[in-house]
Copies of this chain bind each other. A is one copy, B any other.
Amino acid sequence: MAKTKPGIPKGTRDFDPIEIARRDHILNAIREVYRLHGFRPIETPAMENLSTLLGKYGEEGDRLIFRILNSGDFTSRVDDQDWQNKNTGRLSAQLSEKALRYDLTVPFARYVVQHQHKISFPFKRYQMQPVWRADRPQKGRYREFFQCDADVIGTKSLVCEAEIMQIIDKVFSQLNIDVRILFNNRKILAGIAEYIGHPDRLTDITTAIDKIEKAGLESAVGELLQKGLSKDAVDKLKPVLELEGSNDEKLQALETLLAGIPTGIKGIGEVREVFDIVAVSPLHCDLEFDLCLARGLDYYTGAIIEVKSVDVPMGSLCGGGRYDDLTSIFGLSDVSGVGISFGADRIYDVLEAMNRFPDTTGTFSQVLAINFGQKERDYCLPALENLRSIGVQCEMYPEPVKLKKQLQYADKNYIPFVLMAGEEEMKKSLFSLKDMRTGDQEQLMLEQISDVLMKYIDR
- A377 within 8 Å of B (CB atoms): yes
B63 touches A281 (CB 8 A): no
Residues of chain B within 8 A (CB-CB) of A365 are 38, 40
Q: How many of these chains are in the complex?
A: 2
Given contacts A8-B49, A38-B364, is CB(A398)–CB(B157) below 8 Å? yes
Map CB proximity to B onto A287-317 as digits: 1 under 8 Å, 0 otherwise.
0000000000000000000000000000000
Give the residue of B39, B44, B396, B398 whose beta carbon is less than 8 angstroms from that of A14.
B44
A382 touches B96 (CB 8 A): no
Which of the four size classes fits the interface of chain A?
35 or more
Map CB proximity to B onto A1-29 as digits: 1 under 8 Å, 0 otherwise.
11111111100111111001000000000
Residues of chain B within 8 A (CB-CB) of A166 are 385
B364 touches A39 (CB 8 A): yes
- A186 within 8 Å of B (CB atoms): no
- A211 within 8 Å of B (CB atoms): no
Interface residues of A in 131-164 (CB under 8 A from B): 132, 134, 143-144, 152, 155, 157, 159-160, 163
Complexed CA–CA distance, A23 and B103 (Å): 23
A377 touches B4 (CB 8 A): no
- A43 within 8 Å of B (CB atoms): yes
- A277 within 8 Å of B (CB atoms): yes
Residues of chain B within 8 A (CB-CB) of A2 are 55, 329
Give the residue of B7, B125, B378 whose beta carbon is less than 8 angstroms from that of A114.
B7
Binds B, one of A70-78, A216-224, A343-351, A419-427: A70-78
- A452 within 8 Å of B (CB atoms): no
Give the residue of B9, B114, B330 whose beta carbon is less than 8 angstroms from that of A47.
B9
Give the residue of B15, B45, B132 whose beta carbon is less than 8 angstroms from that of A43.
B15
- A459 within 8 Å of B (CB atoms): no
Residues of chain B within 8 A (CB-CB) of A67 are 68-69
Residues of chain B within 8 A (CB-CB) of A398 are 122, 152, 155, 157, 159-160
Interface-centre pick from A16, A20, A391 (highest chain B CB count, 10 A): A16
Given contacts A66-B68, A331-B5, A398-B155, is CB(A381)–CB(B45) below 8 Å? no
- A35 within 8 Å of B (CB atoms): yes
A16 touches B3 (CB 8 A): no
- A450 within 8 Å of B (CB atoms): no
- A285 within 8 Å of B (CB atoms): no
- A176 within 8 Å of B (CB atoms): no
Complexed CA–CA distance, A67 and B66 (Å): 10
Interface-centre pick from A46, A68, A69, A391 (highest chain B CB count, 10 A): A69
- Closest Cβ of chain B to A102, distance in Å, is 13
Residues of chain B within 8 A (CB-CB) of A396 are 159, 163
A144 touches B47 (CB 8 A): yes
B43 touches A14 (CB 8 A): yes
Residues of chain B within 8 A (CB-CB) of A371 are 159
A3-B330, A4-B49, A8-B44 known; 8 new pairs, CB 8 Å cut-off, are A3-B328, A40-B364, A40-B365, A46-B144, A66-B71, A75-B83, A159-B377, A280-B378
- Show 7 A/B contacts (Cβ-Cβ < 8 Å), sorted by A: A36-B392, A39-B364, A40-B364, A69-B69, A155-B399, A166-B385, A281-B385
